Structure 1
Amino acid sequence: MEKPASKTILIVCGVLVLAVAAFLLFGRGGTPGDTSPEAGFARDMATHHAQAVDMAFVIRDKGPAKEISSLAFDIINTQSNQRGMFLGWLQQWGLTQATDQKPMAWMSGHGHGGTATAANGATPGVMPGMATPQQLTQLKQAQGRQAEVLFLQLMIRHHEGGVQMAEGLLKLSTRPEVVGMAQKIIQGQSGEIKFMTELLKLRGAQPYPSILKPQ
């Protein structure tokens, strides 16, 4: 039978371990730490959104069909606002916008980042759905229907990557404002994926193979 003193020591040790773990995960004051899923999500999603906004500006300036112009306008406004929130969180948490960590390191061991095997063929250390420099050049050079189709294909893939990242965050965090934003991204971008797929069909084209897991 354990002595009361021994039990007290075990309890104190357990509390200390939990306190250290909480400090490493969230940092001082209960805010997310530099390597936390919340900080990684905010940084990576800010970069991810920035590319979507850039692509939306490119297609908007080409004078596309009204429905694509409206879609581009919505993406520019929604994702610019959300990006501002991500950067605002980092400032509020006392964290830098830039980091030495590789993209998606916050999901290491969860299908992305580090040396983990990425899900659905995604490249470890690379944010899912991002357009390559070559694809961005093609979009800038394309005109007319070709530009509309390429934009829709690239943006569907981009949105799928955003949904993938948001779903990953939900598995790793319970912080209300971050979880709420991830849920908004999943709902909003899933709806836009369906809409853009319909716009492609009207143009006799199909999306790229999906990078999302079947539901």
Structure 2
Amino acid sequence: MFSSRRRLLIAVPVAVIALGAGLFAVLRSTGDRPDEPAAAARVVQPGAPGQAGRTLSPAEQSQLPPPPSHTEADVRFMQRMIAHHAQALEMTALVADRAESPEVLLLAGRIQTSQRDETTQMQRWLAERGAEVPGPHSRHAGHDAAMPGMLTPEQMGRLRQARGREFDRLFLDFMIRHHNGALTMVQQLYAAGGGLEPAADRFAREVDADQTIEIRSLRELLTKLPD
């Protein structure tokens, strides 16, 4: 369902990983000739972050719990992250007419593409589970105030008024804060008991990985800007 992109393991408790049956990779292999029977399924249980996984025996496989379903924490995470991404898209939409640095323009374009794609994925996830699907520019009651990294109306006003070098520096600074807020939201998801459903877990990990990489690029570019 979700696109295959960069992965970054989040340090969730080992107990959560063990319970997350949806994270088990089922690898099937068949013989080289058509008349050879298919080999038995091989289930690999991932280890804790930084540790190797292990292959489960047939007896252990029979004891595996069914894949966990999504939770209210997952739904709330997706709905709130749609609004969070919407503001990032509002920020990137300002770049073309205001930025001075070509590198800022290029990086903003990459962020815009990734966040549009992720918004579509979140909307699809919610629709497939019968949950309310907010529009990309909707605002749920209390979400703006509660979501980490969201810019205030005053900060958005400053960004709209800025031009040239001043805009570049302000955009990079605000986007770093915004991305850090998204990382906090991922941490909050797991702290609330969400992220056990395989698709929700995979998406949260992708958001964490992508925005961590983008934060590094934003910071590097910020240090290169002339005073």
Shift of 1:63: 4.3
Identity %: 31
Shift of 1:97: 2.6
Residue type of the partner of 2:101? A
Deviation per CA, 1:173-201: give whole Å up to 9, x if none.
21111111111111111111111111111
Alpha-carbon distance between aligned partners in 2 of 1:52 and 1:187, rounded to the nearest angstrom: 17
Alpha-carbon distance between aligned partners in 2 of 1:37 and 1:187, rounded to the nearest angstrom: 20
**1:60 maps onto 2:100 in alignment:** no
Residue type of the partner of 2:92? A
1:175 to 177, 197, 204: 197
Deviation per CA, 1:16-39: give whole Å up to 9, x if none.
xxxxxxxxxxxxxx8546xx0011
**1:50 maps onto 2:50 in alignment:** no
Contact 2:99 2:165 (C-alpha < 8 Å) held by counterparts: no
Moved more, 67-76 or 164-173: 164-173
Deviation per CA, 1:33-68: give whole Å up to 9, x if none.
6xx001100100000001001101111332431211
Could you say which structure has the higher helix fraction?
A: 1
Shift of 1:84: 1.0
Deviation per CA, 1:83-138: give whole Å up to 9, x if none.
1111111111111135976439xxxxxxxxxxxxxxxxxxxx51000011111111
Alpha-carbon distance between aligned partners in 1 of 2:206 and 2:119, rounded to the nearest angstrom: 13
Query: Where in structure 2 are the equivalents of 1:35-46 lying within 5 Å?
Result: 36-46=72-82
Alpha-carbon distance between aligned partners in 1 of 2:218 and 2:212, rounded to the nearest angstrom: 10
Alpha-carbon distance between aligned partners in 1 of 2:87 and 2:213, rounded to the nearest angstrom: 19
Contact 2:99 2:167 (C-alpha < 8 Å) held by counterparts: no
Alpha-carbon distance between aligned partners in 2 of 1:55 and 1:100, rounded to the nearest angstrom: 19
2:131 to 69, 72, 95: 95
Unaligned runs of 5+ in 1: 1-29, 105-124, 206-215
Query: Where in structure 2 are the equivalents of 1:10-159 lying within 5 Å?
Result: 32=70, 36-98=72-134, 102-103=142-143, 126-159=146-179
TM-score normalized with structure 1 length: 0.66
Contact 1:131 1:154 (C-alpha < 8 Å) held by counterparts: yes
CA RMSD, aligned part only? 2.2
Unaligned runs of 5+ in 2: 1-67
User: Compared with structure 1, are the counterparts of its residues 159 and 84 closer, same or farther at alpha carbon in structure 2 (3 Å cutoff)?
Assistant: same
Residue type of the partner of 1:176? P
Shift of 1:170: 3.0
Aligned residues: 154
Contact 1:169 1:179 (C-alpha < 8 Å) held by counterparts: no
Alpha-carbon distance between aligned partners in 2 of 1:92 and 1:135, rounded to the nearest angstrom: 36
Structure with more contact order per residue of length (Cα contacts < 8 Å, sep ≥ 6): 2
Alpha-carbon distance between aligned partners in 2 of 1:185 and 1:161, rounded to the nearest angstrom: 11
